[in-house]
Amino acid sequence: MTFEKVRTNVYLDKNLKEQAKEFFKQYGLSLSDGLNFLLKKTLEKREFDLDMEIEPILPGDPDYELLQKARKHFKEHPEDYVTLDEVNWD
């Protein structure tokens, strides 16, 4: 399943944007993917309660090296990149 993407201009606090980029990066997400995830969850719940427990991947975690390899692969082969919208969750 593919989704149509549109470019949207949103005015964000500069510091907040940088912090959010770093935050989502800990989970292997781009800022765009992270914001799409938050929007989807908000619409699914039909409320602003975004109390989601998600653990970051830190340098001591077993999956940290895998995440680093995935980031490197994305930089070298962006054509292989799949967004969260394109993942088949079934």
Longest dimension (CA), the chain: 39
Q: What is the pLDDT of residue 49?
A: 63
Reported pTM? 0.52
Quickly state the pLDDT bin for 16 (edges 50, 70, 90).
very high
Q: Could you read off the pLDDT of 24-78 as tens digits, one per residue?
A: 888 888 899 889 888 888 888 777 666 656 677 778 888 888 878 877 887 888 7
Query: What pLDDT sits at residue 64?
Result: 80
Tell me how far apart the alpha carbons of residues 25 and 34 are, in angstroms, rounded to a whole number: 9
Q: Is 28 left (phi over 0), alpha (psi -120 to 50) or beta?
A: left
Q: Which pLDDT belongs to residue 38?
A: 86
- Cα gap 77→73, rounded to integer Å: 6
